[in-house]
Structure 1
Amino acid sequence: MATHDCYHCGLPIASHEEGKFNTVILGQQRNMCCPGCLAVAEAIVDNGLEDYYQFRTEPAQKSDDGILETLDKLKVYDDPSLQEEFVFEEGQDKQIQLTLEGITCAACGWLIEKQLSKVEGIKQVAVNVQERRALVTWSPFQIKLSQILSTLKRIGYVGSPFHPDEHEASYKREQKTFLKKLGLAGIMTMQVMMLMTGLYFDWFGAIELETRQYFYWVALTLTTPVVLYSGSTFYVGAAKALSARTVNMDVPVSLAIFGTYIAGIRSTVLEQGEVYFESICMFIFLLLLSRFLEHRSRQRAAQISANMMQYVPVSATKLEANDSVTECLAKQLKIDDIVLVKPGETIPIDGLVTQGSAAVDESMLTGEFNPVRKSANSTVYGGTVCQDGTLTVKVTQTLKNALVNQIVRLQASAMASKPKAAQLADNFSRYFVSAVLVISALTYGFWYVNGSEDAFWITISVLVATCPCALGLATPSALTCAMAKLNRQGILLKRADALEQITNIDTIALDKTGTLTQGKFTISNAWFADGIDSESAMAIACALEARSEHPIAKAFNGKVSHKVDNFTVTPGGGISGVINDTHFSMGSAAFSLANLPSSDTYPSANVFLTVKGQIIAAFEVRDTLRDDTHETLDILSQSHTLAVLSGDTQQNVDTLTAPLPIKTAKGGLTPEQKYEAVQQMQQGGAKVMMMGDGINDAPVLASADVAIAVGNATDVAKTAADVILLGDQLLSVPALIKTSHQVKQKIRQNIGWAVGYNLLILPFAVSGLLSPWMAVVGMSLSSIIVVTNSTRLLSK
């Protein structure tokens, strides 16, 4: 772009306008041609999208000169070229992850979901309070992204496209604000407590009324900044709820604070009545402390599970066509680019090894610290570390669609499906807040009618003691910690409610090839028909299998010397294609053969190469069990019924499963027959978990109550699954089941404690036996106990 061209739209700048419109972009002063381009450029920079200029492939369109008067800065997000980096296609809909600022508690998440779900065009809203993110799916034909962000803004929250660095910066800003408010409340609480406790217990001796009033004024002065600044978090939350014509737990909190504060001012000015300034300060301090602990715990969980983008380096070493190397940004890499990875470097992007051999540390993805040997045709993933060799990698996915990005998206999607326990807790907490407000009003009316001087303070105690903060934290805190723990172990959940369903599973159905076995096939025997050249037949077989994703294809790893046309895959059957104008089929006996010859001709063969139903070659392809198959199945068989559903021959299935604790072993099944087998189990009352890895497993995975894609599963299998094992260890499954039971127990404990505490404390508060400071301590400890109990999942 020439020096005298507009940096935004690329058009020439008029001589009389040169230097008139400029701004700093990417660290340099940039000139614009008009006020419109300047306004759009500043909006892009202000909204944290400066990278747009670094990665764009062509200039933007010229903007309207009158845009300064009409531009809504959020409309910049509607630019398709800007959306390319952070908006994903979901069929005809679009999906985005947003970082949310202004979230204080679980009620904020509910409020956002409720308000956005009312907007026409928004298909799904899932707010993850723990990570301060929202996953929004919308129809671009009905609503624009800027309108979604504007709706968020109107209810008091700021949403922006999720970016790891910006998200971390947002967290740090919130933490800094939290610490300021918490520190102020803590310091003032100590001072006011010393004054007021001394007066209550007469530690100062017989002091005059004037001195006592002086102490009250000092306490009021110290309490005021705590109420107005430290407590502002609760008032903002209450205002957001009321503006949306609903209530949340901040409403009773705000009423209690202001009621006590105003009553204290009145008593101090009129020199009569009680003051509870120490209770106000302590209430705000302890409530802020519980929310700060929640804030810290969700950040700890988020660091483990969701922010995997930190592992992906910014730069990459790109090999050019003339064998020269250049440094570039990983974001700039395109499919089919060639990247050089040296020993000790982090692999910048997903790709296929074309040259070299190296041990790669994939622990950031799988949780397994044993390095994996990679060589030609091996798949590598961005963020993993090349330890001891040099690899030349062909890029297969852009950074936007790389595995680490997919994991982040799947983690966000998982929180979209809330377990029944979470839904019940959310609904109960909303109704409970309304009930608390009604009970508080009735309590005040009862004591006032009966002439009690403490009617007001009894009502304050009810508002404080029964605040359902702990109930709102009960389920989301446990779920987030559980998902973080599983992610650390290389287990990725696509649905949070799958954890709840796993606890009800009583039957586990497993595919054989690639699930129970290693999926590393070798040809143990081969037979060739009379008159057939073995080398030619093997070359045809290798050419066909080179196009297949099935694990058996790895056994035919010879040189490919034939071009294959009209290649097709029949899941559960085999493959076929045209080579030199001849149509070949290769697969199981049922798929490939018109008439299977006697077993004496091809004993134990399980893969057949045919032309027009005539066998030209047969192969015995064998696989071995995974190292941890025996141990895993021994653990699972103690509490589950195990079944194997395989497309391999019944003979091979029986041989493999004979020493295993398998109750049912069925071989020779097509994908439809596997599906029917699971349906029969479910019709018999069984809750079925299906484990598989291939294309032919997709239908049965989709039909099972819970589906697990094992190891290096195909993309189709991963799509159909509810849980993906990123590692290659079957022992992850018992760990998953154990964690699902632990999180169910934690949720029950949390809800039981929260509900039990509120129900137990309510009679004491209503009857006037509970003073405001006692209510403060009880409510805050209740929330702290719930958060602490949930974080224990991370260490188990």
Structure 2
Amino acid sequence: MNGDKYCTIILDHNRIMCCPGCQAVAQAIVENGLDDYYRFRTEPSVKADDNLQETLDQLAIFDEQSIQQDFVIHQGDVSEIQLSLSGISCAACGWLIEKQLSKVKGIKQVSVNVTANRALVSWYSDVVTLSQIMASIERIGYHPSPFQQEQHEALFQQSHKTQLKRIGLAGLMTMQVMMLAVGVYFDLFGDLERETSSFFSWVSLILSTPVVFYSGAGFYHSAYKALKGRTVNMDVPVSIALLATYFSGVWATVFEQGQVYFESVCMFIFLLLVSRFIEHQARHKAAQISANMLQYIPLTANLLIEEQLQPTLAKSLQLDDVILVKAGETVPIDGVVLSGSAQIDESLLTGEFYPVDKNPDDSVYGGTINKSGTLTIRVTSAFKYALVNQIARLQEQAMANKPKIATMADQFSQYFVMAVLFFSLGSFIFWWWQGNPEAFWIAISVLIATCPCALGLATPSALSFAMANLNKQGVLLKRSDVLEQLTQIDHVVLDKTGTLTQGKISIAAMNNISDLSDETLLRYAHSVEQFSEHPIARAFNNSLAFPDVTEFSFTLGEGVSGKVNQKWVELLGTHTLSSTTNAVPRALTGSSIVMRIGGQFVCGFTLSDTLRPDASDMLRRLSRKDISLLSGDNKTNVQQIADSLGISNWLAEQSPRDKLAFVQNLQSEQHSVLMIGDGINDAPVLAQADVAVTLGAGADLAKSSADIILLKNALGKLPNLFTIAHRCKQKIRQNMAWALGYNILVLPLAVSGVLTPWMAVIGMSLSSIIVVINSVRLLK
């Protein structure tokens, strides 16, 4: 861009500005007599992006219809988009953006929300393009991007606006009706004549009608759906109370006899809407923590084609495409680093804020941020199978699985609603039989005061916030009911390789009893192990492999085999051969694994691994639970690990079948077992355990046998998991105790007529708010 285009006279000199944004600010400074700013300034100001032209060129991709269909609304020749804006700091920024865009021919309307860092822009598509609009914003130093709202977010916003409208209307009308009611009750207007009192009643009726039929519409819809499904929910007594109170007031107003409680109806709806709005907002906050990672996936990616960069849609990337991710950019999709080194911020996935070093052959995940360096990445998964998409889907699945206590609470709420209706009807019949003129209002008070709203919120609110807390820490739950099971765990079973140890296995010693050279044997071993996903296979990566490898076979918990150069090669765990006639030769005993070529033992490998740095601290914090270590490794290695960690109960040379039998035996003795494994060889025992935990973000989460996934292999998060589970159980009990205690306490007061309808309204609303506030504490 030619800088001479933007100039301003400052201190009698023509100063060149880098962009119209700087020019506008400079002119404002001069026009307000603040030239001394430039006289005494000692540091140059921050200039516009040096790569501005490159950025502007990339914006052309947003003119493609295939991209616009996701976020642009077309209404005839007028298009509308909501843009996210980075770089906004004050209202002046919004003013500048609006002024600049208003100069662009074809813009119909622009509105900048400084608080939300968003702009709503509508334009004539046949006059100006979206890329030109975005370029106009980019030129003045702000960075626009289409605001990508997921369906649940869009629904939330719609619901949010509707709730606010209903609350606003209910609040406004409640104030007006309350003023009239106070005047009547306390004779603030003096001795009212009958006509004046009737007039006040009619005004109150008119004001409360939109509150009842618009603000309260959600309650009736919910109650209708429940009754249509031949069940009852908490909105049934609410709806009955509202409509009965309103229509009794209508009858009293029309026939000028009886009492009117229009102010109680309006206040009831207002307070109930406020309490539900607070709960709705709080749960949305929890849901955002669990599912907001999708919004951090960039829309575009830099595709490398014949060493040329080509901006493309991230979701259109194919397997084995090669992309370039520069420092400061977000990785658009899962892949493997081909070249370059960088530090990646994976806090979005793991909850750990320390950058992770990434080098060639390391995996990277969509949504993580490149803090330094440039990476060339090969795409390894389709966009819909990216890790963040899998996590988001799992979170949705998790909340679909209710714990037993939640199911019981739901069922109990239905019975409780039936009891509320019964007590309300019974109260009316009793007081009517006694000739009490307040019989109807006593029944209404019972309906309102004992509505089990707080009971319905007790469990789901606590579960939502507990899961949100764990997600922030990089702990992913596939079932919400697992929190309940965690509180019953008394025995923790650990795998060794890849769980307590880092899985970075190396060959500590090699015992060759054949005529072949060590190098040749290592090549045979690597030729077979290269097809295995087990951590042990990585120990042979430093050797070359023979090209002629066929008939690869993997036997769970035993080993791998294949035909290499027309010779059958087997690498087996020593425990798999100990009970056979073809036992391991004495010279190879003590080896971690042995190799046979053509059925003849040729060598043994002693493998070593390193402990995870947080393994010792984890075990210390779980000292109140029984700990067992099961491993398929030889006794020497397992004992060494067990002794270093202080684990007294350990078993070596365990096959998957042995591990499964061990856990089944514990369960037969009435123990509740949590199993931690790598999710590959331990699949059978993970499925058997009461709670299964696996480590690692790179596995296929959707097919994992585990209930819980510790992203980034963070063993130190396991004690936190138990802590949150116990806190969640405690909060559920507190919520249930409060909800039931409140209803038991208020029922006799309502039945006896001590509680008036407006008192019942306040008590019921406060009860629900207290439950939500108590659950929110789980986020801390």
TM bucket, shorter chain: 0.7 to 0.9
Bigger Cα Rg: 2
Asked if the contact 2:679–2:705 (Cα under 8 Å) also holds between the matched residues in 1, the reply is no
CA–CA separation in structure 1 for the residues paired with 2:544 and 2:284: 51
Alignment of 1:529-678 (within 5 A): 529-563=513-547, 564-591=549-576, 594-598=582-586, 601-602=587-588, 604-637=590-623, 639-678=624-663
Is 1:404 the counterpart of 2:404? The answer is no
Q: 1:713 to 1:362 in 2, by over 3 A?
A: closer
Question: 2:747 is matched with which residue?
Answer: 762
Alignment-mate amino acid for residue 750 of structure 1: N
Asked if the contact 1:492–1:723 (Cα under 8 Å) also holds between the matched residues in 2, the reply is yes
1:218 Cα deviation after fit: 2.8
CA–CA separation in structure 2 for the residues paired with 1:793 and 1:200: 44
CA–CA separation in structure 2 for the residues paired with 1:590 and 1:786: 55
1:713 Cα deviation after fit: 6.9
CA–CA separation in structure 2 for the residues paired with 1:694 and 1:498: 17
CA–CA separation in structure 1 for the residues paired with 2:337 and 2:64: 39
Moved more, 755-764 or 456-465: 755-764
Equivalent of 2:468, from 479, 484, 489?
484
CA–CA separation in structure 2 for the residues paired with 1:523 and 1:710: 24
1:368 Cα deviation after fit: 0.9
Moved more, 496-505 or 268-277: 268-277
Equivalent of 1:467, from 440, 451, 459?
451
Alignment-mate amino acid for residue 615 of structure 1: F
State the identity as a percent.
53
CA–CA separation in structure 2 for the residues paired with 1:28 and 1:714: 35
Alignment-mate amino acid for residue 390 of structure 2: Q
Alignment-mate amino acid for residue 778 of structure 1: G
Question: 2:235 is matched with which residue?
Answer: 250
SS in 1 for 2:332: coil
Alignment-mate amino acid for residue 384 of structure 1: T
Equivalent of 2:218, from 228, 233, 239?
233
After superposition, what is the alpha-carbon deviation per residue over 1:380-419, rounded to whole angstroms, capped at 9, x for unaligned? 1111112222222222211111111111111111122211
CA–CA separation in structure 1 for the residues paired with 2:513 and 2:465: 60
Is 1:784 the counterpart of 2:769? The answer is yes
CA–CA separation in structure 1 for the residues paired with 2:667 and 2:149: 43
CA–CA separation in structure 1 for the residues paired with 2:702 and 2:183: 69
SS in 1 for 2:319: coil
Residue ranges of structure 2 left out of the alignment (5+ in a row):
1-61, 75-147
Q: 1:27 to 1:433 in 2, by over 3 A?
A: farther
Equivalent of 1:366, from 330, 350, 360?
350
1:507 Cα deviation after fit: 0.3
Question: 2:300 is matched with which residue?
Answer: 315
Asked if the contact 1:515–1:711 (Cα under 8 Å) also holds between the matched residues in 2, the reply is no
Alignment-mate amino acid for residue 697 of structure 1: D
Alignment-mate amino acid for residue 631 of structure 1: D
CA–CA separation in structure 1 for the residues paired with 2:531 and 2:345: 28
After superposition, what is the alpha-carbon deviation per residue over 1:202-257, rounded to whole angstroms, capped at 9, x for unaligned? 34444444433333333223222211221111122222223333322222111111
Alignment-mate amino acid for residue 470 of structure 2: L
Equivalent of 2:314, from 309, 318, 330?
330
CA–CA separation in structure 1 for the residues paired with 2:63 and 2:366: 28
After superposition, what is the alpha-carbon deviation per residue over 1:353-386, rounded to whole angstroms, capped at 9, x for unaligned? 2222222111100111112222222221111112
Question: 2:493 is matched with which residue?
Answer: 509
Q: 1:712 to 1:570 in 2, by over 3 A?
A: farther
Question: 2:363 is matched with which residue?
Answer: 379
Q: 1:544 to 1:391 in 2, by over 3 A?
A: farther
Asked if the contact 1:697–1:717 (Cα under 8 Å) also holds between the matched residues in 2, the reply is no
CA–CA separation in structure 2 for the residues paired with 1:706 and 1:462: 44
Question: 1:89 is matched with which residue?
Answer: none
Asked if the contact 1:509–1:689 (Cα under 8 Å) also holds between the matched residues in 2, the reply is yes
SS in 2 for 1:481: helix
CA–CA separation in structure 2 for the residues paired with 1:622 and 1:727: 22
Asked if the contact 1:164–1:309 (Cα under 8 Å) also holds between the matched residues in 2, the reply is no
1:613 Cα deviation after fit: 3.8
Is 1:350 the counterpart of 2:304? The answer is no
SS in 1 for 2:645: coil
SS in 1 for 2:633: coil
CA–CA separation in structure 1 for the residues paired with 2:332 and 2:706: 27
Alignment-mate amino acid for residue 559 of structure 2: G
1:317 Cα deviation after fit: 1.6
CA–CA separation in structure 1 for the residues paired with 2:177 and 2:693: 57
Asked if the contact 1:523–1:622 (Cα under 8 Å) also holds between the matched residues in 2, the reply is yes
Alignment-mate amino acid for residue 721 of structure 1: A
CA–CA separation in structure 1 for the residues paired with 2:633 and 2:740: 53
SS in 2 for 1:510: strand
CA–CA separation in structure 1 for the residues paired with 2:64 and 2:493: 61
Moved more, 498-507 or 342-351: 342-351
CA–CA separation in structure 2 for the residues paired with 1:461 and 1:393: 66
Alignment-mate amino acid for residue 567 of structure 1: F
Moved more, 212-221 or 562-571: 212-221
Alignment-mate amino acid for residue 399 of structure 2: M
SS in 1 for 2:681: helix
Question: 2:712 is matched with which residue?
Answer: 727
Question: 1:748 is matched with which residue?
Answer: 733
Q: TM-score, normalised by structure 1?
A: 0.77
For these two proteins, the number of residue pairs brought into alignment is 639
Asked if the contact 1:568–1:577 (Cα under 8 Å) also holds between the matched residues in 2, the reply is yes
Question: 2:503 is matched with which residue?
Answer: 519
After superposition, what is the alpha-carbon deviation per residue over 1:576-608, rounded to whole angstroms, capped at 9, x for unaligned? 11111111111322447833233xx45753122
Asked if the contact 2:490–2:673 (Cα under 8 Å) also holds between the matched residues in 1, the reply is yes
Asked if the contact 1:642–1:661 (Cα under 8 Å) also holds between the matched residues in 2, the reply is no
Alignment-mate amino acid for residue 373 of structure 1: D
Alignment-mate amino acid for residue 607 of structure 1: I
1:653 Cα deviation after fit: 0.9
Question: 2:689 is matched with which residue?
Answer: 704
Q: 1:318 to 1:640 in 2, by over 3 A?
A: same
Q: 1:731 to 1:28 in 2, by over 3 A?
A: closer
Q: 1:183 to 1:243 in 2, by over 3 A?
A: same
CA–CA separation in structure 2 for the residues paired with 1:381 and 1:283: 50
Q: 1:694 to 1:218 in 2, by over 3 A?
A: closer
CA–CA separation in structure 2 for the residues paired with 1:166 and 1:595: 61
CA–CA separation in structure 2 for the residues paired with 1:537 and 1:695: 27
Q: Alignment RMSD, CA only? A: 2.4
1:780 Cα deviation after fit: 0.7
Q: 1:655 to 1:712 in 2, by over 3 A?
A: farther
CA–CA separation in structure 1 for the residues paired with 2:154 and 2:560: 52
SS in 2 for 1:673: helix
CA–CA separation in structure 1 for the residues paired with 2:152 and 2:545: 51
1:659 Cα deviation after fit: 3.3
Alignment-mate amino acid for residue 269 of structure 1: V
CA–CA separation in structure 1 for the residues paired with 2:255 and 2:433: 24
SS in 2 for 1:659: helix
Alignment of 1:28-43 (within 5 A): none
SS in 2 for 1:634: helix
SS in 2 for 1:415: helix
Is 1:771 the counterpart of 2:759? The answer is no
1:615 Cα deviation after fit: 3.0
Asked if the contact 1:585–1:592 (Cα under 8 Å) also holds between the matched residues in 2, the reply is no
Q: 1:690 to 1:414 in 2, by over 3 A?
A: same
CA–CA separation in structure 2 for the residues paired with 1:333 and 1:193: 61
Alignment of 1:66-145 (within 5 A): none
1:171 Cα deviation after fit: 1.1
SS in 1 for 2:285: helix
